[in-house]
Structure 1
Amino acid sequence: MDLLSAVIRTVRVGSASGRVIKQPMSSGIKLPAFKGTGFHIILHGDCWLITENEEPVALKPGDVVLTSSGGEHSLSPFPCALDALPALVPGTDSPPGPYAFEFVCGAYRLEHGQSSPYLRALADLIVVSPDYDRHPEMRALVDLLGADLSGARTGTGATLPALLDLILVHVLREWSEQNDMGEWPRTDDPRIDAALQAIHDNPQRPWTVQRLSETAGLSRTAFSRRFAAAVGQPPMSYLISWRLSRGAQLLRDTDAPLASIARRVGYATEFAFAGAFRREYGVSPGRFRLQPATSCLADGVSAESADAR
């Protein structure tokens, strides 16, 4: 089952942001924790990934740091303690050179809701060294993202989410191949995969635990236990989360009426959908739809509402 596509759809409901950062020889920079998923790609120079509980990891040009759940970390030209570095200030220009290293950031910041349970199950910070000779399209995507963020350019609100999606897909595929993960993300239980596939393909159906257990070919008790162990939450909680995540995506990507979206994700009325959406996202569907989907931060370009990660 293609859960990777489902993961990308989940993160896409966040606000897309990006920035190119040039870091001087004298100091590194701390990137505070944030709610969402993102990455850094080293463009020039060497540096170190600094975290609170792990040994520093050496990074070279082309390496990618995937922040699956937005954990706090630092990038530095030398090994040091995490708290020894200053925090990134949103909307500021890069300080004067010479520069030790340069990197491009991309992130989906979630103002409401939660990231995919599959991303939350990963290590919070993953280093990937893509094979650019084998996958030259990855280098082209990185070049496009860097060029798009290097100045105020028209159309970035459309190109940024598309580039973030493509880079995240390529990074996760590469990580999967390097770690022999097969068709990641997936569970280790084919019966639970069958139920997940049914939920993802047909969220509008009147699913119950009993019906899902029948789809999986298990008793209700065994299904509930195995689903929670594989996915990290009970079946109905996952169903609700997926329905609302799919609804959030439709709110962002389409002009469909609220009543139509409600039916497509399994709610009998728009009022029932709106109430569940507000409980999950902390905001009404209409207000969510009006929120900006992108927040681009290139060097010298600021935006009040973004973290510039």
Structure 2
Amino acid sequence: MDLISEVIRTVRIGYAGARLTRQAAPGGVRFPAFEGSGSHIVMHGACWLIGQDDPVPLCPGDIVLTSSGAEHGLSQAPCALRDLPLLEMDPRPPSPEPASFEFLCGIYRLEHGQAPQYLRALPDLIVLSPDYDRHPAMRSLIDLLAANVSMAQPGSGATLRALLDLILVQILRQWHGDNTSWWPEVAHPGIAAALREIHENPHRQWTVGRLSEVASMPRTAFSKLFTTVVSQPPMRYLTGWRLSRAAQLLHETDASLARIAPQVGYSTEFAFSAAFRREYRSRTRSSAS
């Protein structure tokens, strides 16, 4: 089961953006929580990642993945997250004046949903220190992204999304390489088969019993293992995938709700709309709490 490819397909339905930010001493910014995923790449100078846990020092070349949009900050010195000012998303390029540290931000903002289940199962904030000699492709992608956001050129919108996709793939590949025990059961053939059926055939009237048959496992054992692997019960995961797939179809096609609903397992557009409202309201309440 190629989860990384599924992640990329899901985040593509959202807004993709990037910017270069420069901070003069004493500098620091706070990023509010949002629905989606993002990353920061330290381009120049040293700083600290500020989250809910202890501050983490960052050096040039370090990468921070905000897997599911958790609130966080970057600061020249350790501090409390609440003490950092919110970053103002100014479309103008950063000031050319000397800066203490400089970082490149990339973001996938999902207006009608949230980060894929896989990303939400990762730690909120992940720090990577790539070996660029061993992984020159990552350095090339970062340089291309920096050039893309530094000057407007024809085709910049298309190349931006492609570069963010490729960088996210590289980040997740390195995370997997450094954390080989993460979601080890996904290699279980039964769970992989159930996930594949959910992803490829969301329109079918799945039940836990039918999915356990696909996995060739007893129902109780399947439900327990699936929940451990995916961090969600089977039917909860199915609902999330159906709505993510529906959002992708709405974004990429001109199909009406009436045509999309049966493609993702809902008998009518009204049933689909009701499911979407329930899911979105529950996510909003969870974020608020």
TM-score class, shorter-chain normalisation, is 0.7 to 0.9
User: Which stretch of the first structure deviates more once superposed, 266-275 or 236-245?
Assistant: 266-275
CA deviation string 1:127-180 (max 9, x = no partner): 011222222221121112111212344433322222211111110101111223
Distance 2:201 2:238 in 1: 10
CA deviation string 1:199-242 (max 9, x = no partner): 11222223222110111122223322332233222212211211
- CA contact under 8 A between 1:118 and 1:185: conserved in structure 2? no
Q: Which runs of 5+ in 2 are unaligned?
A: 282-289
The offset of 1:95, in angstroms, is: 5.1
User: Which stretch of the first structure deviates more once superposed, 62-71 or 215-224?
Assistant: 215-224
Distance 1:79 1:113 in 2: 33
Identity rate, percent: 61
Q: Are positions 1:247 and 2:246 aligned together?
A: yes
Distance 1:8 1:130 in 2: 21
With the length of structure 1 as denominator, give the TM-score of the two structures. 0.81
Distance 1:279 1:159, change over 3 A: farther
CA deviation string 1:38-96 (max 9, x = no partner): 00011122222122322x22212211100012122221223333233222112265456
SS of 2:100 mapped into structure 1: strand
- Which residue does 2:285 correspond to in 1? none
Q: What pairs up with 1:142-153 in 2 under 5 angstroms?
A: 142-153=142-153
CA RMSD of aligned residues (A): 2.4
The structure with the greater share of residues assigned to helix is 2
Distance 1:30 1:82 in 2: 7
- Which residue does 2:3 correspond to in 1? 3
With the length of structure 2 as denominator, give the TM-score of the two structures. 0.86
- Which residue does 1:58 correspond to in 2? 57
- Which residue does 2:30 correspond to in 1? 30
Distance 1:173 1:22, change over 3 A: same
Distance 1:160 1:85 in 2: 29
Question: What letter matches 2:218 in structure 1?
Answer: S
Distance 1:161 1:281 in 2: 25
The offset of 1:260, in angstroms, is: 4.4
Q: What pairs up with 1:49-198 in 2 under 5 angstroms?
A: 49-54=49-54, 56-91=55-90, 93=92, 94=94, 97-181=97-181, 187=186, 189-198=188-197
- CA contact under 8 A between 1:112 and 1:280: conserved in structure 2? no
SS of 2:186 mapped into structure 1: coil
- CA contact under 8 A between 1:25 and 1:98: conserved in structure 2? no
Distance 1:125 1:224, change over 3 A: same
Distance 1:194 1:234 in 2: 16
Distance 1:240 1:167 in 2: 28
Distance 1:257 1:131 in 2: 47
Distance 1:61 1:210 in 2: 51
- Which residue does 1:264 correspond to in 2? 263
- Which residue does 1:293 correspond to in 2? none
The offset of 1:186, in angstroms, is: 6.1
Distance 1:138 1:203, change over 3 A: same
User: How many residues end up aligned between the 2 structures?
Assistant: 280
Distance 1:81 1:277 in 2: 37
Distance 2:75 2:43 in 1: 14
- CA contact under 8 A between 2:112 and 2:247: conserved in structure 1? no
Question: What letter matches 1:140 in structure 2?
Answer: S
